[in-house]
A and B are shown apart, each in its own frame.
Chain A
């Protein structure tokens, strides 16, 4: 039978409220841990500073997509209306940019929105239907009213006992080890 104990994923601890979570995150960050994450049912103001999160790259993804929509939309219409199927409507110019603006605009928005949604999921590594943290029963509260912090074993400084002590001293509760699947 499989008696091999799987590898440790990290140490999970629960905080009482958003304020305590921010304080603990700040402490963990100051202690030099890099691979850690906090979990809350809603985004908490100031958490980016406490965790030293870098600016999201999403804006650039959206900009790229928007540009693609604009240029792609223009090229498509130009090809169809001027090159491939020129249609003489009352002798008006074939290259009729003002009338093309609505469609170019809509395509810019459409592609940007795709970039904003799928880019966000890509940056977050979702969909990922299974995760070591889901093995913790207590963690179910993270989408209700629980505030959690997890220091991952991938962190070079990681030492389970030290980490547990740090979190305990900071006032976190329900400290537990989480194992890889």
Chain B
């Protein structure tokens, strides 16, 4: 019997014939070139949507939450759906920057800056919704433990308060993590940019970074500790978001599967969003050498895994509803799949459970156009997941006399669309003014960066992998 042994090498992280300076030029020249016309067009559209958001919020504050489609008992509608959706999207950035860093996944360096920026802007969009949902936004400071004239404190037993702490901590830590990564790259632009104003602005941002190895020594430690802190943080944030639901006694919400199920869903939708943005940007900014098809394939694998986890959770919820033998719990799940919102439920199943299964095929997960379509489908599906969870459970509560059908109003829709304006306004500013790839980190994972890949004379030699000969097993 003969077997063919074949060594399959890890694909190179950077494609094409690049050295350190060409990588620097490839990424930072984008920030130093004159602004492309298309950017202005995109920025204009984003600003228009941002204006829609600001107007919707202003009208909401003026008129009150009555302008939304909320009713009794559906006291939570699109606002909470959008909040969970945006926060979930944000989680992929932290997963890429922190968890993949701890697992020593070198491929993260091509996309981490990009994904972290997405995290920060997504959390900003998310934070708007609970804030404006409180109704009397001028007393929003009540959610923080600030001494006040009423001599009262917030209730630390409430999941809604946990959420305040979780999301604000998450935003702060993500921002710090992002900035620490940016410092060496801002120094790179400082040293390359020609304009005086640019030198001053990037110079202040770079804090006087000069690439000292005594500094790198503390820096790497700091980065690793931050990754170690951000990893439990990201898991805790969506866990606490799920507690907003799970700690209540509403049927369909009061389940212990919620924390892991929410975290998996968050990573699932976040990776899809990273892919959507990345596929556009790598094309426009010609970064195909850095954000390669291998990256897309690896991300699609994560989408496949987390999508299957989400699918498993949907099945498990049904099983537990039956196994638990609570009438209300059983009823709500039957209503979800067959009741007035069945259309939303089946959109969710089709988008979240079925669509990622295409990625079992290697050909499809390496197909850029197909990936792009699926990445959008997944985010539609994840929005509907939150819609199904929130609306079905609330609209059919314990009292059948108060059952009713929930529909959003124009203002719900405009506010949601408006948050895309906020997101893309910031994202476009990021693309224009900050290096969208972590240049210093990317150089660090190139084979030329490893002193072991140099021979005695100090010349670079391509690393070779010793493939052990398969052991001959005597068959006598």
Q: Is the CB of A27 closer than 8 A to any CB of chain B? A: no
Residue among B209, B211, B230 facing the most chain A CB atoms (10 A cut-off): B211
A-B residue pair count with CB separations less than 8 angstroms:
210
Q: Is the CB of A47 closer than 8 A to any CB of chain B? A: yes
Q: Is the CB of B341 closer than 8 A to any CB of chain A? A: no
Name the contact of A80 in the complex, choosing from B24, B145, B176, B212 (C-beta under 8 A): B145
Which residues of A in the span 35-54 have a Cβ within 8 Å of any Cβ on B? 37-48, 51, 53
Residues of A within 8 A of B214 (CB): 37, 51, 53, 124
Residues of B within 8 A of A87 (CB): 155
With A144-B24, A144-B191 as contacts: A109 and B173 at CB distance below 8 Å? yes
Which residues of A in the span 125-143 have a Cβ within 8 Å of any Cβ on B? 126-131, 133-134, 139-143
Residues of A within 8 A of B156 (CB): 77, 80-81, 99-100, 103
Residues of B within 8 A of A31 (CB): none
Is the pair A143, B165 in contact by a Cβ cutoff of 8 Å?
no
Is the pair B454, A17 in contact by a Cβ cutoff of 8 Å?
yes
Interface of A is mostly: helix
Q: Which of A3-11, A18-26, A157-165 is near enough to bind chain B? A: A18-26
* Chain B nearest Cβ from A181, distance in angstroms: 13
Is the pair A89, B166 in contact by a Cβ cutoff of 8 Å?
no
A53 to B220, CA, bound (A): 13
Which residues of A in the span 94-133 have a Cβ within 8 Å of any Cβ on B? 96, 99-100, 102-103, 105-107, 109-110, 112-114, 116-117, 119-121, 123-124, 126-131, 133
Name the contact of B225 in the complex, choosing from A25, A59, A80, A123 (C-beta under 8 A): A59
A43 to B166, CA, bound (A): 33
Residues of B within 8 A of A81 (CB): 153, 155-157
A121 to B221, CA, bound (A): 12
Residues of B within 8 A of A145 (CB): 19-21, 24
Residue among A41, A99, A105 facing the most chain B CB atoms (10 A cut-off): A41
Residues of A within 8 A of B286 (CB): none
With A51-B213, A102-B243, A127-B207 as contacts: A119 and B450 at CB distance below 8 Å? no
State the B residues within 8 Å of A (CB). 19-21, 24, 145, 151-157, 159, 161-162, 165-166, 169, 172-173, 176-177, 179-180, 184, 187-188, 190-192, 203-204, 207-222, 225-226, 229-230, 232-233, 236, 240, 243, 439-441, 443-444, 448-451, 453-454, 458, 460
